Amino acid sequence: MSLRIPEAAPVSQIAPERRGPAVARFCHGCQQLYPLLRARHVGRAIYGRDLVTSTCSYEGMAFGHEATWWEEAVEVLPAVAAPAAAA
Ligand SMILES: [Zn+2]
């Protein structure tokens, strides 16, 4: 069983009105999500493909703020209903 986390996606792929709180870090190398508390790209991802055939090229690197190979992943909020037509 994998950890259950809210549906999450890289912040750049989510419309601003659907961005919830940051829940993970998304690695552009292996396209997987890693816990925010983990300072380095090590160990198992919390979300993503189960079978990774090759080691990510960023494996072992720190999630530094200056690094460009990762971005925050945010919880995806439900789509906001279109506003009803003004009465
Ligand atoms: Zn990676």
Boundaries of every domain in the chain: 9-42+57-76
CB–CB of 69/27 below 8 Å?
A: yes
Residue 35 reports pLDDT greater than 60 = yes
CB–CB of 26/10 below 8 Å?
A: yes
Centre of ligand 1 to C-alpha 11, Å, is 16
Centre of ligand 1 to C-alpha 78, Å, is 27
In the structure encoding, which two tokens stand for residue 28, read together? 């552009």
3-class secondary structure, 64:
coil
What percent of the chain is modeled with pLDDT above 90? 60
- pTM strictly above 0.85: no
Centre of ligand 1 to C-alpha 63, Å, is 10
Q: Hey, which residues does 34 pair with through a beta bridge?
A: 25
pLDDT digits (tens, 9 = 90+) for 44-70: 887 665 665 678 999 999 999 899 999
Centre of ligand 1 to C-alpha 8, Å, is 16
Centre of ligand 1 to C-alpha 62, Å, is 11
